[in-house]
Amino acid sequence: MGQLTGGDPSLLRRINSAVVLHALRDAEILTLTELVSVTGLSRPTLEGVIEGLVESGLVVEAAAEPSKSRRQGRPARRFRFHAESGHLLGIEIGPHRVSALLSDLEGQLRGSVSRDVAEDAAAEERLEKTRAAVGDLLRRSGVPRSSLRAVGVGTPGIVEADGTVRLGTAIPGWTGLRLGERLQRSFRCPVIVENDANAAAVAEHWRGAARDSSDLVFVLAGLSPGAGALIGGRLHRGFGGAAGEIGALHLLGREAFPEKLLSTTGEPLHPLDETAVAHVFSRAAAGEAGARDAVERFLQRLVHDVAALVLALDPELVIVGGWAAGLDGVLEPLRRELDRYCLRPPQVKQSMLGDSAIATGALRLALDHLEHELFAVESTVTARH
Amino acid sequence: MGQLTGGDPSLLRRINSAVVLHALRDAEILTLTELVSVTGLSRPTLEGVIEGLVESGLVVEAAAEPSKSRRQGRPARRFRFHAESGHLLGIEIGPHRVSALLSDLEGQLRGSVSRDVAEDAAAEERLEKTRAAVGDLLRRSGVPRSSLRAVGVGTPGIVEADGTVRLGTAIPGWTGLRLGERLQRSFRCPVIVENDANAAAVAEHWRGAARDSSDLVFVLAGLSPGAGALIGGRLHRGFGGAAGEIGALHLLGREAFPEKLLSTTGEPLHPLDETAVAHVFSRAAAGEAGARDAVERFLQRLVHDVAALVLALDPELVIVGGWAAGLDGVLEPLRRELDRYCLRPPQVKQSMLGDSAIATGALRLALDHLEHELFAVESTVTARH
């Protein structure tokens, strides 16, 4: 027994537009008669709505079906959602690189870009590099900046709802940065900023290893692991956006930091030095005792952090991504130990999206924003109960 | 743009009944004219609905307002929700005792009962004790068993959605028990079984220390801590009902069990021996060195488990309940350590409901079930989008 809130005619028009857009996106191409039957709107109302949508560019007239156009007199006009009428960006701003994906309004990819950034680059330099990379991508793809409808961004740290980085130790100058606001100035469309592991969780559910699961934890495995979780298909950000920041747990156990655990010399590795870490793993694979001990210590740490998440959340599925996921000997021990200690062990899978997980998730968040804007009817309706 | 799913007239009648019940419960007493205005239903429809509800016992006619009845000719008939037309039970079945709360259909308490049970009592004996305690409570309160509309139960262990205990090590014979089914036979009304810490989390949000917070973790602090979480006001059970079972985390760190951590003799305490534990705490308070070390080890363990939950979920509030919450020197160190290690430290409060938290939560779950049955309109409505 839902009902419209009030009798505002422009609200009603907006709802009718959303219903028609939704029908067109689901069905691809529909005639006016088909739209009348799918939406329940009257033909005159529908014609008004379609006219407005064609004017806005979101709907275009499709070519008439050849077979029908011959037999009958005047061919029925057919319409489709105009996915090319705007574009979306998914951006990763990471410690080592910035990358971006460009798509149409249905999330179909149109292009991508990736640039290395020095890990000690200042915030301004990193932002400038991001803007330049996106500028290049738009130029190459022949897409004007004004065509962007929403931009998603995934980046390390605790990100507040307004796009401010509350705490971001992995990137210099990141803590306190009003990242959403800064990028909004460049793009002049809504910018949604999200923690990188959260974005990756969204991505694996959309196009990766978790398409069939709505309850999952994505672990961004590295020297300082982060994690993102979907619960019932929805991103769980936590009360202050800090959910899944399980890396701090080792501080409590008075145990060593991962970069120390992985050291074979007693001197800690640099926290972001992936090459040095990979080197330790390959020496361990070759059988060197000191390196094997180091890897064992590192794995125990990772297992412990992931187990804490699994015990707290009880997900169906754990997806391991980040650079450490690609190293031999990470996934199997993790699976074995979780089986052993968790009351209800989850499935453990490797990320399918690899390096593109974070940007893909950011793109999906931009698409979510757009869909909410274009298609959401629920928010304007109250279910009376 | 919600709409009714189909044109089933009995469905429509059910929805109209729910709308009227909801209006009456919110407003306490309404005349037919007031009901017409609140519900939007026509007077003839409303009269039919009210007649059905009065027949079912859920609605009764209230006395006419004296002031009005004199001035006007025939006084307006007034109706109210008949909260006393049925009853609900909230039951705790724990390792040491069973207890129950009885309420009317609005959750107003009508009575309570509590009985000690030996911790080594077999499952059948424990069930029998529960039935006997409830029988007593009903008799004392003058409530016939047939008046029960729903029963909630809180108990230790991982509880599946159908009320089966998947794993319950704290109570002999509990693992594998079809607890919901067994109790349903005695009560002949729906029985909702939930993990004890989950029930307690629900209770603190309803009537305890978390009335103002929808994102909270309830820690049932004892030798083997369990936890329940509400996220956005909803209980987070996890994919398999095992969320919050953080007690297993210490197995991974290859660290000692709490009952060993708290020992001052080298011999582990009995896992459920609360008296021995309290004794260690009081010796520590008196300054005995060995006892202080033991308490320190125990607290570190508890802080670690709670921190894992907090880092995973990022709740607004942590409520500490269970017997250990009442011990001096538990809450303050926990608050201090969480402040120190969590990226966004939560508030820490002691349980307000104490011993009655689990049964109160079980009662609320029974009330939720009833309200869903009587008042829920949403499930019969589809928001078209």
Q: Which of residues 189-218 of B touch A (CB under 8 A)?
A: 215
Are A378 and B378 inside 8 Å of each other by CB? no
Query: Under 8 Å CB-to-CB from B118, ≥6 apart: which residues?
Result: none
Which of A311, A372, A373, A378 has the highest number of chain B CBs within 10 A, making it the mutation to test binding with B? A311
Q: Identify all chain B residues contacting A18, using CB atoms and an 8 Å cutoff.
A: 385
Among A119-123, B16-20, B51-55, B201-205, where is mean pLDDT lowest? B16-20
Q: Identify all chain A residues contacting B158, using CB atoms and an 8 Å cutoff.
A: 343-344
Over 80: is that where the pLDDT of B343 sits? Answer: no
User: What letter represents residue B343's amino acid?
Assistant: L
Which of A48-52, B24-28, B284-288 has maximum average pLDDT? A48-52
Give pLDDT, residue A248: 66
Are A312 and B344 inside 8 Å of each other by CB? no
User: CA-CA distance, A291 to A314, in Å (whole number)?
Assistant: 33
Scanning every residue of chain B, which has its alpha carbon at the shortest distance from the alpha carbon of A167?
A: B343
- Using the Cβ of A346 and the Cβ atoms of chain B, whether some distance falls under 8 Å is answered with yes
A52-64: burial string, b at 16+ Cβ within 10 Å, e else: bbeeeebbbebee
Kindly state the DSSP code that residue A268 receives in the 8-state scheme: P
Q: Confirm if B235 and B198 have CB atoms less than 8 A apart.
A: yes
Predicted-assembly ipTM surpassing the 0.95 threshold: no
Nearest by CB to residue A312, choosing from B303, B309, B344, is B309
Q: Identify all chain A residues contacting B385, using CB atoms and an 8 Å cutoff.
A: 18-19, 22, 375-378
Question: Which has more pLDDT, B323 or B340?
Answer: B340
Q: Identify all chain A residues contacting B229, using CB atoms and an 8 Å cutoff.
A: 312
Q: Crossing angle of helices B32-39/B9-27, nearest 10°? A: 110
Over 70: is that where the pLDDT of B249 sits? Answer: no
Give pLDDT, residue B262: 57
Give pLDDT, residue B242: 84
Q: Identify all chain A residues contacting B236, using CB atoms and an 8 Å cutoff.
A: 231, 313
Nearest by CB to residue B239, choosing from A215, A244, A377, is A215
- Using the Cβ of A239 and the Cβ atoms of chain B, whether some distance falls under 8 Å is answered with yes
Nearest by CB to residue B240, choosing from A229, A236, A344, is A344
Low-confidence residues of chain A: pLDDT under 50? 1-7, 253-256, 378-385
User: CA-CA distance, A332 to A321, in Å (whole number)?
Assistant: 14
- Using the Cβ of A160 and the Cβ atoms of chain B, whether some distance falls under 8 Å is answered with no
Give pLDDT, residue A264: 63
Q: Identify all chain A residues contacting B375, using CB atoms and an 8 Å cutoff.
A: 385
Over 60: is that where the pLDDT of B285 sits? Answer: yes
B252 confidence band (pLDDT: 50, 70, 90): low
Q: Identify all chain B residues contacting A343, using CB atoms and an 8 Å cutoff.
A: 158, 167, 242, 245, 248
Are A253 and B248 inside 8 Å of each other by CB? no
Q: Identify all chain A residues contacting B2, using CB atoms and an 8 Å cutoff.
A: 1-3, 381, 383
User: CA-CA distance, A225 to A259, in Å (whole number)?
Assistant: 12
B32: three-class secondary structure by DSSP: helix
Give pLDDT, residue A316: 95
Over 60: is that where the pLDDT of B255 sits? Answer: no
- Using the Cβ of B22 and the Cβ atoms of chain A, whether some distance falls under 8 Å is answered with yes
Which of A261-275, A308-322, B27-41, B221-235 has maximum average pLDDT? A308-322
Give pLDDT, residue A356: 93
Are A304 and B215 inside 8 Å of each other by CB? no
Quick: pLDDT tens for B349-378: 999 998 899 999 999 999 999 988 887 654
Q: Which residue carries 């390959």 as its tokens? A: A282
How many beta-carbon contacts under 8 Å exist across A and B?
176
Q: Identify all chain A residues contacting B239, using CB atoms and an 8 Å cutoff.
A: 215, 314-316, 344, 346
Are B343 and A158 inside 8 Å of each other by CB? yes
Sequence-separated contacts (24+) of A371-374 with Cβ below 8 Å: A373/A150, A374/A18, A374/A21, A374/A58
CA angle, B208 then B194 then B167, to 5°: 130
Residue A363 φ/ψ, nearest 5 degrees: -65, -45
The β-bridge partners of A318 are A217, A348
Q: How many helical (H) and strand (E) elements, i.e. helices and strands, does chain B have?
A: 13, 17
Mean pLDDT in residue range B372-385? 53
B93 confidence band (pLDDT: 50, 70, 90): very high
Over 60: is that where the pLDDT of B251 sits? Answer: no
Q: Are strands A87-93 and A148-155 parallel, antiparallel or unpaired?
A: parallel
Give pLDDT, residue A249: 67
Over 90: is that where the pLDDT of B97 sits? Answer: yes
Average pLDDT, chain A: 84
Quick: pLDDT tens for A107-125: 999 999 999 999 899 999 9
Which of B8, B257, B314 has the highest number of chain A CBs within 10 A, making it the mutation to test binding with A? B314
Scanning every residue of chain A, which has its alpha carbon at the shortest distance from the alpha carbon of B215?
A: A239
B4 confidence band (pLDDT: 50, 70, 90): very low
User: CA-CA distance, A248 to A262, in Å (whole number)?
Assistant: 17
In B43-164, beta strands by DSSP E: 59-62, 78-81, 87-93, 97-104, 109-116, 148-155, 158-159
Among A17-21, A68-72, B166-170, B239-243, where is mean pLDDT lowest? A68-72
Give pLDDT, residue B383: 33
Which of A168-177, B69-78, B84-93, B292-301 has maximum average pLDDT? B84-93
B250: distance to nearest CA of chain A, Å? 9
Among A231-245, B260-274, B326-340, where is mean pLDDT lowest? B260-274
User: CA-CA distance, B277 to B258, in Å (whole number)?
Assistant: 10
Q: Identify all chain B residues contacting A346, using CB atoms and an 8 Å cutoff.
A: 239
Give pLDDT, residue A243: 87
Give pLDDT, residue B41: 83
Over 90: is that where the pLDDT of B38 sits? Answer: no
Q: Which residue carries 């907090």 as its tokens? A: B310
Q: Identify all chain A residues contacting B205, using CB atoms and an 8 Å cutoff.
A: none
Scanning every residue of chain A, which has its alpha carbon at the shortest distance from the alpha carbon of B24?
A: A385
Are A239 and B314 inside 8 Å of each other by CB? yes
Q: Identify all chain A residues contacting B231, using CB atoms and an 8 Å cutoff.
A: 231, 236
Scanning every residue of chain A, which has its alpha carbon at the shortest distance from the alpha carbon of B26?
A: A385
A208: distance to nearest CA of chain B, Å? 20
- Using the Cβ of B160 and the Cβ atoms of chain A, whether some distance falls under 8 Å is answered with no
Residue A305 tokens read as: 């952090």
Scanning every residue of chain A, which has its alpha carbon at the shortest distance from the alpha carbon of B216?
A: A239
Over 80: is that where the pLDDT of B53 sits? Answer: yes
Q: Is A245 exposed, middle or buried (0-12, 13-18, 19+ CB in 10 A)?
A: buried
- Using the Cβ of B161 and the Cβ atoms of chain A, whether some distance falls under 8 Å is answered with no
B268 confidence band (pLDDT: 50, 70, 90): low
Q: How many helical (H) and strand (E) elements, i.e. helices and strands, does chain A have?
A: 13, 17
A150 φψ region: left (φ > 0), alpha (ψ -120 to 50), beta (else):
beta
Q: Identify all chain B residues contacting A341, using CB atoms and an 8 Å cutoff.
A: 248, 251-252
How far CA B25 is from CA of B14, B30, B271, B374, in Å, comes to: 16, 10, 46, 11
Scanning every residue of chain B, which has its alpha carbon at the shortest distance from the alpha carbon of A343?
A: B242
User: What letter represents residue B136's amino acid?
Assistant: D
Kindly state the DSSP code that residue A65 receives in the 8-state scheme: P
CA-based nearest residue to A39, from A53, A65, A21, A58: A21
- Using the Cβ of B323 and the Cβ atoms of chain A, whether some distance falls under 8 Å is answered with no
- Using the Cβ of B368 and the Cβ atoms of chain A, whether some distance falls under 8 Å is answered with no
Question: Which has more pLDDT, B264 or B374?
Answer: B374
- Domains with residue ranges and CATH for chain B: 2-84 (1.10.10.10), 87-202+358-372 (3.30.420.40), 211-351 (3.30.420.40)
